Amino acid sequence: MSATAFMNRTAGRAVRSHLQLNPASTAFLVCDIQERFRGLIWNYPHVINTASKMLDAAKLLNVPVLVTEQHPKALGHTVQELDIKQARVIAAKTKFSMFVPEVQEFMKKNLGESPSAVLFGIESHVCVMQTALELLDHDVNVIVLADGVSSMNPGEVKIAINRLRAAGATVASSESVLFQLMGDASHEKFKEVSKLVKEYKDKTTGALDALVSANL
């Protein structure tokens, strides 16, 4: 790819990342939030809380949820706190990136020509990182939740966040994304989403304090 083509492609991503998120072309990607990682991932309960909020919001906003599980026979399935019955895809994988055939097929068929992916889960510097980079390579607008990702080693998180930004991903908070998906207080689900945000207020504060303050 020429330098000019690369700059044009990067500029296009930057512009698109600031546009209004459209629920019809957006998916929530839940990356490997599995049982075996309890006690191993830094501030894992906060990652789970953020994921739980996003799954509840997905039901209200009709945003499709795509879930992967890394080698579930060895690492267990998605944690029981997360209700993934609504998920449109639940894919077992050994590949680190979530962009496996099932996810690719769903996004291609259902999210239109300008898809967005809101990404959260673990680990920041491995599966989350490789998912985001591969999505960016396929011209997907990637939003990584700063209060929804972590790693075993806390030091890896900040490095991953910085690298993701440099690659063209948007790093945002879960609450910011939810309001961006609505865009206007006249949205038909505004009251319900606002109620959900209030219900999760203390958990959101905890996640921001634990996961974000040390890494941004």
Catalytic residues: 32, 93, 127
Rg (CA), the chain: 16
What is the distance between the alpha carbons of residues 31 and 23, in angstroms, rounded to a whole number? 19
Residues with Cβ within 8 Å of residue 115, at least 6 apart in sequence: 25, 26, 27, 107, 140, 141
Q: Are strands 89-93 and 65-70 parallel, antiparallel or unpaired?
A: parallel
Residues with Cβ within 8 Å of residue 94, at least 6 apart in sequence: 70, 71
Tokens of 76: 């267990």
H or E stretch including 31? Answer: strand 26-31
Reference 35, options 85, 71, 88; nearest CA is 71
Q: Are strands 65-70 and 26-31 parallel, antiparallel or unpaired?
A: parallel
What is the distance between the alpha carbons of residues 157 and 93, in angstroms, rounded to a whole number? 22
Q: In this structure, are residues 53 and 148 in contact, taking their beta carbons and an 8 Å threshold? A: no
